[in-house]
Amino acid sequence: MKPIIPFEPIRSDSVPSGKQWIYQVKWDGVRILPYFDGAQIRLFNRHLNERTMQFPELTDRSYFEASSIILDGEVIALAADGKPSFHEVMRRDGVRRADRVAMARHEVPINYMVFDILYLDGDWLTDRPLRERQLLLSEVLVPGPVVQPVASHPDGEALFGVIKEQGMEGIVCKDLNSTYGIEGKDGRWVKVKNYGDVIAVIGGFTLRSGVVNAVLAGLYHEGKLQFIGKVGTGKLTQADWREITRVVAQISTLDCPFANRHPDMRGAQWCQPVLTARIQYTEWRWQEGRTMRQPSIQAFVNVPPHECIWEV
C-alpha cells in the first residue's frame, strides 16, 4: 500500500452549527495512519515518514477485524496531570534506534485515538460520506487498552467549553455529509483551538552560563524567514536545553537568517535555519512586529523548514 497525505482541517475562530456537524476532541498528539495489506501493518505519519518501529503497539492486528484496512487517528501520550502531552509523545516519535524502543515504550505509554477509516477489505472509502465511514469504523474497530475510537458529540459549543475548562488543545468539527480529501485541506473539517501553536524554524539562540536558555523562532513569508518571537519557557527539561546547546554549536553561523530585526534579538547568536519546533502561544502581538504573546516551546519536531510558512 502506498501511503497518502491525510486530510486536514482548516482553522476557525467560531464553532460551526447545524445538524450535519459532529464535534470531536482535538487530541494533542501525532497523526498516524496504520496500513494493513493482509500481511503486515505499517505506520506512517502525515509527512509520509514511516513510524512502524516507534509504535510497535499498533503492529498487532487485534484492534480491527478486516482483511485489509487503512485507519486515521492520533497517537497520544499523557502527562502526569492526565492530559495529552505533545512533549511526551514526541519522546516516542523521536526514537531513531531500534534498541531504544523497548525503554521508550516503558517510559512513555501511548494510546491510539481512531477517528476515521479510509480503506476496508480492498475498497477505498474516501468518496463515501463521513456518516457511512463512522458506521463502518464502529463495526470493524476492536477497542482495547491502547486503541480507542474518538467520541463524537452533538453540541460543539458545550464540548469547546469543557475543553477550555480543562486547558486542552481544542475541537475538530466535521460535516457528516463530507467525503475525505486525500492531500486536501478545506472547510469539510474545521478546527477551533483553545490556544494557538505553530511549527517554527529556529534561527538563533541566547546563552546563560554557556547553556542555551532561549531560542529565536521564525516563519517563512514570501521566501524570507520572519522573526516571530524569542522562546525560553515550555516543556523542555534541563537535559533538553543541554542537548540543544550541543546541537546549535554544530550549526552556528555569523550570518543572521532573519529578514527582519526586532529588539528581542538583542544579544542573540545565530544558527543555520535547519531546526524546527512546535511552539504554543496565547495570541499574536500585531503592534509589536507580528510576534507571539507568551510563547512556550513544546518539542523539537522533524518538519522540513521550508514547510514552516506564515498561515496565521
- Helix H, strand E, coil C: the string for 2-64 is CCCCCCEEEECCCCCCCCCEEEEECCCCEEEEEEECCCCEEEEECCCCECCCCCHHHHCHHHE
> 102: closest CA among 112, 111, 92, 94?
92
Whether 224 is catalytic: no
What pLDDT sits at residue 194?
87
Mean pLDDT of the region 181-207: 94
What pLDDT sits at residue 252?
96
What pLDDT sits at residue 285?
80
Residue spans of the domains in the chain: they are 8-193, 196-307
Q: Which superfamily is assigned to 196-307 in CATH?
A: Nucleic acid-binding proteins (2.40.50.140)
The pTM for the full model equals 0.79
Give the confidence band of 79 by pLDDT, cuts at 50, 70, 90: confident
Options 2, 19, 26, 230, the catalytic residue:
26
CATH number of 8-193: 3.30.470.30
